[in-house]
């Protein structure tokens, strides 16, 4: 696994597009998110279909074709410096094969931000575009709108990434140790369902794997992780960072499952790392070289997340 191309950092006045790739977006939360971006001296623009609702499937923000078109058009617009996902939910996998990856590659690198269901797009941006991305709070999310820690860490990552080269989570070591590698990851439920698709990387070998999820009971997390293990996808992973497990049941049971499935890999594992669906979520760059110290629960990037 090699480092990916890092996009340029943002500057005051930068134009950022907000797109809905997955679930429907509440208008009041979108407007609040746009206000936050304006407060950062950015120039936000909402994609044409960001507030759409699918006529048949209420869990989708508009049709697959329209969601794909919004993402592609924003990415290929030379006046746009960053593309921010409005929210997760479900739906990115339905539209991902409708994107023209050749056209998006030709458009060059820019900042891409999202988490949760956006896991599938992070993987595709890595394999199809060779681009480092940001796994962090989304523009219509509660954390983005209301949580000071989440806002400050994301803003620093976007504007002054050299100030957050060391990400200290306040977590603990599930398996002690230090390791170096390239960051990647997301929700294991989505990484498992990505296997066998055109955008899935063959394995996490050489990686610092960041995992978190929401609404997945321990037996379902067991199933996802077992699938990744059986597929050989986790062979050669250097270390694992565990984020939040919101609505996944009692954390003691979740922790036991994670330790059982991941503890035998023989690599450092840091838990409660403070990214994902938790309040005050940290922004984690994917596709960059870094070192994890599980004992101190710190991730130190070799270079700033953005150039």
Among the listed residues 122, 153, 212, 216, the single catalytic one is 212
- Annotation marks residue 116 as catalytic: yes
Among the listed residues 54, 122, 153, 277, the single catalytic one is 277
- Annotation marks residue 277 as catalytic: yes
Among the listed residues 22, 63, 116, 120, the single catalytic one is 116
How far apart are alpha carbons 165 and 275 in whole angstroms? Answer: 15
Give the residue numbers marked as catalytic.
116, 212, 277
């Amino acid at each position: 696994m090699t480092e990916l191309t890092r996009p340029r950092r943002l500057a005051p006045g930068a134009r950022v597009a907000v797109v809905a790739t997955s679930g429907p977006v509440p208008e009041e939360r979108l407007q609040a998110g746009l206000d936050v971006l304006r407060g950062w001296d950015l120039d936000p623009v909402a994609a044409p279909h960001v507030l759409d609702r699918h006529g048949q499937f209420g869990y989708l923000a508009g049709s697959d074709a329209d969601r794909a078109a919004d993402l592609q058009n924003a990415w290929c617009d030379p006046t746009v410096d960053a593309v921010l996902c409005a929210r997760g939910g479900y739906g990115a996998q339905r539209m991902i094969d409708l994107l023209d990856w050749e056209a998006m590659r030709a458009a060059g690198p820019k900042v891409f931000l999202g988490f949760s269901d956006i896991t599938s797009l992070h993987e595709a941006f890595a394999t199809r575009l060779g681009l480092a991305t940001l796994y962090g709070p989304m523009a219509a999310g509660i954390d983005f709108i209301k949580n000071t820690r989440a806002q400050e860490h994301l803003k620093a990552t976007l504007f002054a990434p050299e100030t957050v080269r060391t990400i200290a989570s306040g977590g603990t070591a599930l398996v002690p140790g230090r390791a170096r590698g390239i960051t990647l990851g997301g929700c294991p439920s989505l990484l498992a369902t990505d296997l066998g698709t055109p955008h899935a990387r063959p394995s996490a070998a050489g990686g610092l794997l960041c995992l978190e999820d929401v609404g997945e009971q321990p037996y379902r997390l067991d199933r996802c992780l077992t699938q990744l293990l059986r597929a050989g996808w986790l062979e050669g992973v250097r270390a694992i960072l565990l984020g939040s497990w919101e609505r996944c049941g009692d954390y003691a049971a979740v922790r036991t499952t994670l330790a059982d499935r991941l503890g035998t890999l023989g690599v450092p594992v840091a838990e409660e790392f403070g990214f994902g669906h938790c309040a005050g979520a940290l922004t984690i760059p994917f596709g960059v070289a870094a070192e994890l110290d599980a004992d101190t629960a710190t991730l130190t990037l070799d270079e700033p997340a953005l150039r």
